[in-house]
Chain A
Amino acid sequence: MSALALEDLRVDFGPEHVVLQGVSLWVEPGQALGLLGPSGSGKSLTALACLGLLPTGARWVGGSLRIAGQELFGADERVWQKIRGAMIGLVFQEPFTALNPLMRVGEQIAESLRLHQGMHDQAAQREAAIWLERVGLTPGASRARQYPHQYSGGMRQRALIALALAAGPKILIADEPTTALDATVQTQIIDLINRLRQELGFALLIISHDLGVIEALTQDALVMQAGRVVERAKVTDLIHAPQSDAARRLMRAHASFMQA
């Protein structure tokens, strides 16, 4: 049973604007899968769809979405609330705006623990501090009492990873988790995700237009273009022998960038 299975997912903004035209992808338990593609190819929308959080105006038109075997196409909001956080987590691209500025960081993590693990307030606060230590924010107890504006960008992304994983999801979607960070922090975040995956064994769907990021996190990748999956291959094959147009363009751009 796949941790996450999308079959022929179709999403549109009205009949004239079909944005996902039948996306199929499978992530096996513990596996890491990269999702590559240029801007506007539907990567982020696919990620949001996996959480049942389509933006205003977007509609599910068809297809199937299963998380740990449970069909979620057309599931109502209550079902989704039990799935989100507990079965599937999401790390955002932009760590600067993804934490509530008025809430202590520990409290935001504790909220998720209370919701999904039925923890009492103090236990949840303690566990939140442990999670902050686990993602390298020490000392956890005092970091937990701080507000987001007291964190740097890299620290916020670490906190967001803790938030996404706190309730023990079996799959983590990371949507361009390093794009907004500088190069040294990028490597730290990638190392952190790899280490946590070894410790916790969750499956990973990593979305990026940056081949280097994908390569550092996984061997398997999909290439998306214009709302379709156009290629599924090993990352090394993608680099050396891209089959699809979109992949070739990405590789060319990547190569010329590396030479320059």
Chain B
Amino acid sequence: MSTAQNRYWRGSTLAAGLALGALCLMGLLARWIAPQDPDRIQVLLRFAAPGGDAWLGRDELGRDVLSRMISGASVSMGVGILSALLTTLVGAGLGAVAGYRGGWTDALVMRLADVLMCMPTLYLVLTLIVLLGPGISNVVVVIVVTGWTSMARLVRAEVLALRDREFVLAARVSGANAWDVLFKHVLPNALAPVYVALTFGVAGAILMESGLSFLGLGVQAPQASWGSLLNSGRQSIEQAWWLTVFPGATIFAVMLLVNHLGEKARRHFDPKDSL
């Protein structure tokens, strides 16, 4: 790779990392950063367009959209990144072990995945959240429980293809135990598609959280999240575009940033493409 591209990747990765870090920090410090009280209702100012003292406009109750987005950042970033990471960890771990061990381990894990996958996700999610009770940490649990299956399938397929490769046999010939063979030789070679799936997982989790919040099963009103803002803004999309465009664009931007980091990670761990 040329040095110009090199510099681009290094600089842009730093920028993407910093941007994501800033968004997380913003979520954590929301109470002090938000220019206005995110829950303060000013009915007279409802649907005020962006500008003046509300840079990103006001919603149907006259609340400041910017402040609500800042206050919702911790929920969205937290749920998005945490559940995507956990989903990957659980899914990749189970898929790898199932693919490598084969036999009854494989049968058990993959049949469980099949059972979960053949149920409509929404019903499964709703049932689980009703059982566990609403709340943001339960949203993460539910996303992981329903989401690990596709990651497991992905990793299992990769592991199956790698398991009988000669370098894996060579590691065993050197006396490596099953654990080392799987986690040092097989799994690292199976991760390229996982980085991509992980980035989509972040966006998927943010949207799933919004759906659950819309049904009152995620964040509890009046707490905002990007997803719930997007969802409630949809009803008034014709009179107030800013209620959907800003949260939507933010989710999109986060997805791009995570995607960029995922691509960078993939390149970093592939010596042929290393920077």
Contacts and interface: CB of A to CB of B under 8 A. Distances in A.
Contacts of B176: 81, 111-112, 115
A97 interface: yes
Contacts of B169: 53, 92, 98
A90 B166 CA distance: 11
A183 interface: no
27 contacts: A53-B169, A53-B173, A77-B177, A77-B178, A81-B176, A84-B172, A84-B173, A89-B173, A92-B170, A98-B166, A98-B167, A98-B170, A99-B167, A99-B170, A100-B170, A100-B189, A101-B167, A102-B188, A102-B189, A108-B171, A111-B180, A115-B174, A115-B176, A147-B271, A147-B272, A149-B272, A163-B174
A81 B175 contact: yes
B177 A92 contact: no
A139 B269 CA distance: 25
B175 A84 contact: yes
Nearest to B172: A53
Interface in A203-235: none
Contacts of A102: 188-189, 269-271
A6 interface: no
Contacts of B271: 101-102, 147, 149
The bracket for how many chain B residues form the interface is: 20 to 34
Interface in A99-117: 99-103, 108, 111-112, 115-116
A58 interface: no
A84 B172 CA distance: 8
Contact of B175 (A100, A108, A115): A115
Interface string B156-189: 0000000011110111111111101000110011
A51 interface: yes
B26 to A, nearest CB: 36
A85 B166 contact: no
Nearest to B167: A100
Contact of B166 (A77, A86, A94): A94
**Among B178, B180, B269, B272, which residue has the most Cβ atoms of chain A within 10 A?**
B272
Contacts of A195: none
B21 interface: no
A5 interface: no
A239 interface: no
A53 B171 CA distance: 12
B11 interface: no
Nearest to B272: A149
Contact of B174 (A56, A94, A111): A111
Interface in A28-83: 51, 53, 55-56, 77, 81-83
Contacts of A193: none
Interface string A169-204: 000000000000000000000000000000000000
Contacts of A137: none
B170 A163 contact: yes
Nearest to A86: B175
B175 A167 contact: yes
Interface string A98-142: 111111000010011001100000000000000000000000000
5 residue pairs, one from A and one from B, having the closest CB atoms: A85-B175, A147-B271, A84-B175, A112-B174, A85-B174
A85 B184 CA distance: 17
A90 B180 CA distance: 19
B102 interface: yes
Nearest to A53: B172
A132 B43 CA distance: 77
A164 interface: yes
Contacts of A101: 167, 189, 271-272
Contacts of B174: 84-85, 108, 111-112, 115, 163-164, 167
A82 B171 contact: no
